[in-house]
Amino acid sequence: MADVPVLRLDGVWKGFDRGRDRVVVLRGVSLTVPAGVLVAVLGERGQGKTTLIRVGSGTLPVEDGQVLIDGQTTLGISDSGLSEVLARKVGVATRLGPAAKIDVESYIEMHLGATREYSWRSRREQVRRALREFDLAGTEKLMWGELSDTQRVAVEIAQAVVVKPRLLLVDDVLDGLGSSAKYAALGILEGLAKDEGCGVLMAVSDHTTATRGEQVHQLIDGKLRLMHHDPNIISIEGRRERAEAG
């Protein structure tokens, strides 16, 4: 049986009212993100990358088409049902940081608390583990404004993956980083895909960063154009099936 992608967009349309005008941002966009694969979407500012990420996360309703997360459609699902799916299966890293004035430790712990299945002690232990893994020891009580750009990227990724999601969505968080910090962050994303089996969709603004994706799409004028696709891509489930068969 064919692998079920962790994210699938089928003919998605999305627009916004701006004054008297209607601006269409996504025009029949279709995209799949397999488990264990890093997919990049390249686009200039204002081309709709953030809209694409929000649509993929299930938090922004579409006007036409459908969004499936791990094979489950977001169409018609209740708010509570959608919240549960997102808490368990989806991690999102943006450039915005926490909405409330909280420290790093509390920010990372928020995602764990949303699943309602971890005890306080378990949450704290997982947060400490995430801080060590992402080289953030010593930042526990720092606020967002006290972090460096590199630390902010690490915190965003840490809070997004602390529940070990099936799908990680990354909204242009690498933009503006120095080369060494950017490559280190890309290495983390590649490791999450290959080692943890997480499907990763990253929206980026520069071509060099985009080429690290196993699939590369360009978003322009509301449409996706495939720029690169590795014909040897096999999702993490497919790799395991081949290994077992061999």
CATH code for the domain of 209: 3.40.50.300
How many Å from the N-terminal Cα to the C-terminal Cα in the chain? 17
What mean pLDDT comes out for the span 230-246? 48
Report d(CA 203, CA 172) in Å as an integer.
5
Count of the separate structural domains present in the chain:
1
Instruction: Report if residue 111 sits inside a domain.
Output: no
Domain residue limits at 18: 7-99+166-245
Instruction: Tell me whether residue 83 is in a domain.
Output: yes
Beta-carbon count within 10 A of 121 CB: 8
Residue with tokens 């915190």: 155
Edge to edge, what strands does the sheet with 199-204 contain?
A: 90-93, 167-171, 199-204, 38-42, 215-220, 223-229
13 in a domain, yes or no? yes
Q: What pLDDT sits at residue 65?
A: 95
- Report yes or no on 17 lying in a domain: yes
pLDDT tens per residue, range 87-105: 889 999 998 899 889 999 9
Give pTM, 2 decimals: 0.87
Share above pLDDT 70 across residues of the chain, in percent, rounded to a whole number? 90
**Cα gap 217→215, rounded to integer Å:** 7
Letter for the amino acid at 3?
A: D
Angle among Cα 40, 41, 43 to the nearest 5 degrees reads: 140
Q: Is residue 110 part of a domain?
A: no
- Residue 178 domain flag: yes
d(CA 221, CA 218): 10
Residue 171 in any domain: the answer is: yes
